[in-house]
Amino acid sequence: MRWGRMYHKTILDNGMRIISEEIEHVRSISIGIWVECGSRYEDEQTNGSAHFIEHMLFKGTERRTAFDIASTIDSVGGVMNAFTSKELTAFYIKIPDYHLALAIDLLADIFNHSKFDEDEITKEKSVVLQEISMLEDSPDDYIHDFFEANFWKHNHLGMQVLGTRERVEGFSRDSLLKFFRSRYRGRNVVLTAAGHLKHEMLVELVEKVFGDMGEDTEKVTFILPTAVSTSITVLEKDLEQVHMMIGTLAPSSVSENRHASFLMNAVLGGSMSSRLFQEIREKRGLAYAIHSYLTPYIDTGMLAVYVGTGKGEVREVLGLIFDELMRMAKQPLTAKELHGAKELIKGNFLLSMESTDNRMTRLAKNEICYGRHVPPEDVVTKIDAVAHEHIQELAQEMFNPSTISIAAIGPVSEKDLTLHILNG
């Protein structure tokens, strides 16, 4: 497969980056506008602004109503959506290739000409408050935010993407526009596209509608976050299950250890054949849902285990999880485990390359994280090069009992989570 040979990059005078990958054998194009802005760029006064602005860009422009925005994409069989994370906000469209100009025009319209109408802001406050309530009413979802708020305590990474009720209720048109104009400009913006297109035509269309967007006006320097050592946090609620998170610091998205961490996570709890899933669910029947996952950021990262279990099983499940963490640090992976993890990661990665959505996303993340194109074959080579001693050394660094944090929601107390293994 001719990977990477159809990659192109252009930088406009205002600093906006346009990156594309031409894929001749498909009839779709996936296009995304990626802004280096999320809850990590906020403070206590502005927390939730990026997410709220994401909503507002769909609520009407000088040329289109909210219904017009939705119907424009529906009428051509396309898909349009957006998301906000701690480090990024993205707006993306997937359309048939012959509607490229329409998609660019629509993205530019919502991005450059949204009205931020006062009445719409008032209505959207109610929507976001309902979104916050829905999250808090779903303990298997809320536990992740609850855990990170304590894991990254005293750092902007601990702020919730949705913001707080108090902050959302206090948003004004002026405060939202001030935040928007400070970040959603120039070098903070990357437009990526993958599919049946020509880069020259893409640049011509984009420059015509984004060329006068202006340069960015605010530079942000992050304070390197550190996790709270051995934090145990509990939200007692009358639930049928106890929802728990156990987490530790992990490699960043640019760390040389990131490929080893992918493989470690796959073996630990990243698949149905993983150690945690097999030991706790399949062998002992102590939980329906258990998995581990990585959350890498530009300068740090987190590996966490989630499990939902009964109140009477909390101590046993927690002990088994710690046993597996310590085993990862004390014993090397078997040759079979390492080979299986490599095939799993490579297989998932290669299958994702068949989607224009995933390739468009990958273009953006490579640019934002590394400032360059990373050929897929380089990723495969890096994964193949990881040896079992690399994973064991990383596990020894990460799974130190004195740096592991726990959070739980449900019919449980802090005493239930305070085990001797936390002290080594």
Question: What is the CB-side half-sphere exposure of residue 100 using CA atoms within 13 A?
Answer: 22
CB atoms within 10 A of CB 126: 11
Q: Which of 21, 54, 124, 324 is catalytic?
A: 54
DSSP string, 84-107: E-SS-EEEEEEEEGGGHHHHHHHH
d(CA 48, CA 264): 33
Active site residue 136: no
The answer to whether the beta carbons of residues 254 and 417 sit under 8 Å apart is: no
Answer yes or no: are the C-beta atoms of 42 and 88 closer than 8 Å: no
Closest-CA residue to 17 (of 25, 29, 8): 8
Residues ≥6 apart with Cβ < 8 Å to 177: 116
Instruction: For residue 209, give every residue at least 6 positions away whose Cβ sits within 8 Å of its Cβ, in sequence order, or none.
Output: 104, 105, 108, 112
Tokens 């490599």 identify what position? 342
In whole angstroms, give the CA distance from residue 25 to residue 119: 46
Interhelix angle 173-183/118-136, nearest 10 degrees: 80
Q: Buried b / exposed e across 157-178, counting CB within 10 Å, b at 16+?
A: bbbbbbbeeebbeebeeeebee
Residue 143 tokens read as 């536990």
Distance from C-alpha of 194 to C-alpha of 33, rounded to nearest angstrom: 12
Q: Which of the residues are catalytic?
A: 54
